[in-house]
A and B are shown apart, each in its own frame.
Chain A
Amino acid sequence: MPAGGPARPFHAAREPGRPGEQGMVPALTEKEAPEAGYGWFETRELAGLRLHVLTTRKFKLETARVAIRLPLVREHVTANALVPMVLRRGTRRLPTLQAIARHLESLYGARLSVDVGKVGDTHVIELRGETVADAHLPGWRPGTRQLEALLRLLFEMWLDPARGPEGRLRDEYVVQEREILRRRIEGIINNKRQYAVHRLMEEMFAGRPFALHRLGRLEDLPALDGRALDEAYRSRILGARADLLVVSSAPADDVAALARRVLDEVGWRPADGRLDEIAQAGPAQDGAPPERGDPRVVTETQPVRQAVLALGYRTPVRFASPDYPALVVCNGVLGGFPHSKLFVHVRERNSLAYFVYSRLESSHGALLVSAGVDPGLKDRAVAIIGEQLEAVRRGEIEPDEMEATRRALVRRWRVDEDDPNALIDHYLVGLVNGRQRPLGELIDQVARVGRDEIVAVARTVRADTFYFLTASEPAAPDASEGQPVASRGEGAS
């Protein structure tokens, strides 16, 4: 399909991210599945590897993912991020990037990638693949040849990587990927919007695992030579009790048989239980939000044309809390959508910003607000954001706003059902949190959330840390007034 080229969207109300970071953890229930053309994930134990298969004829793609869940900890975060980057460089059978790329092209443009993410205090290492299903290739019949080739690649990448003469991960790959990782970490600063959010998280969760960037820390890199990384690979990745998530047109039993056969051929030795505990990294344990009055303010200057605000709030309400659905609706009313209060007031009524949104870190009870504004007008924007949160606390929510928010949430969850990777993401977040919140249940709950519940949950939301990335010399006059940056109305409950 032709690409559209550069384009200017009308709005960018929400930053793209992983579902866990958006505070949405829906999952489908069995009973609503048939009309969508598929059921829900079925789980099979494959000698230590947990296989989760969702069978559907809806998609032309076969999608598979190996996910390894590890605790997010300072000692391991950087090595955990680097290992998959090295694994993707080559396997014993296909030892170079080029050999893999050529093989993927022959498989009609199959895709293979690696990623690391964080959900709560869990570091998730992922090997991802997708390919067109046999039935949809010109002149092909239904079957699992493409899926088999895809699984083989994923398993080989995970279990049978290219090795050097000493049987370790190849030194030159480690050195090259370490350099790439260094650049990626240094490059976090290049995207100002994401950088501001990352910096807020770093300040807000200082001393806790969630402050760590998913890519790790620069100071760990020098020590990560071939030997150290191979040790990390052997002790934490190879033989870990991983989850294999598959969305396929084939039935779960067929996928299980296929996966077992390919695993045998690749030489899989089941996890011996030694690594079980590390797969049990659960949801975040943060304790209650600190009792503070005004938020802590962190200001950083760079020669930017636009100031980026990232305001961090805390609430005791978490993903597993009974009033979590109320928090989701509260966030939607405040700033989750282009009909929300922040968009309407900060952007449409006051022309202060092009982008402004709020979102949840549901595993941590954090709500963050971000906007890009003129450096001279940031205090005004902060004040309006504070006023809007205060309006929610006072229950100033029109029936229209409630209704639009409920519908928008339902739409977002339903649309995700059309995307195999979104389905896998949701399921994974449920796995990490040790609790699936089925989509149908969430939709029902959201429908029952009334104004009182929103007000109650909004009153638990407290300003914690405000982060500003701004130019060193504000241009506009109202910046020099020396107003406290803490917005009015914060801390009231």
Chain B
Amino acid sequence: MAQQQAQLVTMERREVAGDPLLMGRYASGLAAYVLPKAHFRQKYAVVAVRYGSVDSRFRGADHARPLEVPAGIAHFLEHKMFEKEDGDLFTRFARLGASANAYTSYTATAYLFSTVEHFEEALELLIRLVREPYFTEASVRKEQGIIEQEIRMYEDDPGRCLVVNLMQALYHVHPVRLEIGGTVESIRQIDASLLYTCHRTFYHPANATLAVAGDVDPQRVWELAGRLAADGDGHVVERWDPEEPEPVREARVETRLPVSRPRLALGIKDPRRGLQGVDLVRRELAVNLALDAVLGRSSDTFQALYEEGLIDDGFGGRYACDTRFAHTVIGGETPDPDRLERRLKEVLLRAAERGVDPETFERLRRREVGEFVAAMDNPEMVANSLAILHFRGVTVTDYLDVLQRLDHRDASEALRDHVAEARMAVSVVLPDGRARADGVGAPGRPGGAARSDAPR
């Protein structure tokens, strides 16, 4: 059975911006990608599993009923996968000269390494990393302390607070409103048996992908990937998202932090959900190009807001989408969040009526093509994009195809469809008056907050 699952059943070769891209699919459903980069020193590999923070309610093959799990468990599982019965795999990667890491997003968990030597041994280790769960109650408790500090670190990060609060204002019930890492309280509910359950349910070849970029021997990658493809017993997981109402939950949320200046994020919840493949990519590109036309650096709005001092270089907007949710987040630091909010809403609503003109659209599309080509110089970015796009049912060449076929009418239409005041929310972070940086660089020290002890 395992032997059969590990068979490579299809293999395709495409060309992307002058580089070859090889795509293989195994009997168990695993997809693998290899982008050979001649002359590059770095060899990069990522195994991604389609399991993220939004998968908070699901039913696996061996569950009679749907299971509700604590927020942050996908991320917790990611941390714990590095520990095995015979020790910590991190150290093994280090011994090979490879640098390993992992990350968890709303929709995926990814394990990766970068190396210049011993690539094949490191890839074997990466495969072992995701395939072999090993959890004990003691090691779970130990990790709670580390993750608690990770959560605290983000709580002191104003940019992160701004977005987390925005998600909670935009969404009533959809799990994208949960923090990826969970909360100090939610992670205390996690135990070893729950981690085993999540691993068994989601870490399955058909629910995973491998992407490699660098000067590697593709044949060896196919052979090694066979081990990742093996043992798929064909089980499926059902995931549920609760019915999310169209209007936002709260139009405005505000918090105070020890920061120097206010920040504003304006969110727009997209009514379109459930898009897949090329349709999803088309939507993503159309909305993003439209947003760039309206608010991007070459727009009249950016120029005006910048000259008025309402925004700075950190200002920007991006439409983020997946098969299960989609929203835009626009914002940055500003001296006057209320005024910026009014201006942004005005501009967006007006642009939704007027649409995007053909000349602007062509210029922005040209930029997008250039950025796509530039990204091919970055093995890490390419490999991660391959993994993300795989879970949307497409690959990077489809992305380029869609980009070449879009026109300004698509962008105008997407904008009209996306922008509506009832689906907008703003999140504001205000200074609490307790962070004063006016002593930075000055001979003295910030107003009274610091004390300097004499040498003991």
Q: Do A and B bind each other?
A: yes
Identify the A interface with B (CB < 8 A). Answer: 1-11, 36-38, 56-61, 96-98, 101-102, 104-110, 130-132, 136-138, 172, 176, 179-180, 183-193, 198, 202-203, 212-213, 216-219, 292-306, 337-339, 347-348, 350-355, 372-374, 400, 403-404, 407-408, 410-412, 414-415, 417-420, 484-486
Min CB gap A75→B, angstroms: 13
Q: Are B363 and A98 in contact (CB under 8 A)?
A: no
Q: Are B453 and A299 in contact (CB under 8 A)?
A: yes
Min CB gap A340→B, angstroms: 9
| Interchain CB contact (< 8 A) of B374 among A5, A11, A109, A484 | A109
| Interchain CB contact (< 8 A) of B302 among A11, A98, A348, A410 | A98
Closest to B386 in A: A1
What is the CA–CA distance of A5 and B107 in the complex, to the nearest angstrom? Answer: 10
9 inter-chain pairs at a CB distance below 8 angstroms, sorted by A residue, are A1-B382, A7-B105, A8-B105, A106-B366, A190-B435, A294-B456, A300-B446, A302-B258, A350-B145
| Interchain CB contact (< 8 A) of A304 among B156, B374, B453 | B156
Residues of chain A contacted by B95 (CB below 8 angstroms): 400, 403-404, 407
Residues of chain A contacted by B385 (CB below 8 angstroms): 1-2
Q: Are B94 and A407 in contact (CB under 8 A)?
A: yes
Identify the B interface with A (CB < 8 A). Answer: 17-18, 38-42, 75, 78-79, 82, 88, 90-91, 94-106, 114-117, 142-150, 152-153, 155-158, 160, 163, 180-181, 258-261, 281, 284, 296-300, 302-303, 306-307, 309, 312-313, 318, 320, 333, 363-364, 366-379, 381-382, 384-385, 388-389, 396, 399, 432, 434-438, 440-442, 445-446, 449-456
Residues of chain A contacted by B297 (CB below 8 angstroms): 97-98, 101
Q: Given A102-B298, A189-B435, A303-B432: A108 and B146 within 8 A (CB)?
A: no
Most B CB contacts (10 A, CB to CB) among A212, A295, A303 go to: A303
Min CB gap B299→A, angstroms: 8
Residues of chain A contacted by B102 (CB below 8 angstroms): 9-10
What is the CA–CA distance of A309 and B154 in the complex, to the nearest angstrom? Answer: 16
Min CB gap A357→B, angstroms: 13
What is the CA–CA distance of A102 and B362 in the complex, to the nearest angstrom? Answer: 11
What is the CA–CA distance of A339 and B95 in the complex, to the nearest angstrom? Answer: 9
What is the CA–CA distance of A285 and B31 in the complex, to the nearest angstrom? Answer: 56
Q: Are A411 and B99 in contact (CB under 8 A)?
A: yes
Min CB gap A43→B, angstroms: 23
What is the CA–CA distance of A202 and B393 in the complex, to the nearest angstrom? Answer: 51
Residues of chain A contacted by B116 (CB below 8 angstroms): 410-411, 414-415
Residues of chain B contacted by A109 (CB below 8 angstroms): 366-371, 374
Min CB gap B104→A, angstroms: 5
Count: A-B pairs, CB below 8 Å? 303
Min CB gap A483→B, angstroms: 11
Q: Are B105 and A107 in contact (CB under 8 A)?
A: no
Most A CB contacts (10 A, CB to CB) among B38, B99, B100, B144 go to: B99
Q: Are A132 and B373 in contact (CB under 8 A)?
A: yes
Q: Are A418 and B41 in contact (CB under 8 A)?
A: yes
Residues of chain B contacted by A176 (CB below 8 angstroms): 306-307, 309
Min CB gap B107→A, angstroms: 8
Most A CB contacts (10 A, CB to CB) among B142, B312, B374, B384 go to: B374
Min CB gap A391→B, angstroms: 17
| Interchain CB contact (< 8 A) of B284 among A2, A37, A374 | A2
Min CB gap B278→A, angstroms: 13
Residues of chain A contacted by B441 (CB below 8 angstroms): 185, 202, 212-213, 216-219
Residues of chain B contacted by A38 (CB below 8 angstroms): 39
Q: Are B40 and A400 in contact (CB under 8 A)?
A: no
Q: Are B42 and A296 in contact (CB under 8 A)?
A: no
Q: Given A109-B368, A414-B42: A351 and B144 within 8 A (CB)?
A: yes
| Interchain CB contact (< 8 A) of A306 among B155, B303, B434 | B155
Residues of chain B contacted by A136 (CB below 8 angstroms): 17-18, 373
Min CB gap A156→B, angstroms: 18
Q: Are B452 and A98 in contact (CB under 8 A)?
A: no
Q: Given A10-B82, A136-B18, A219-B442: A304 and B258 within 8 A (CB)?
A: yes
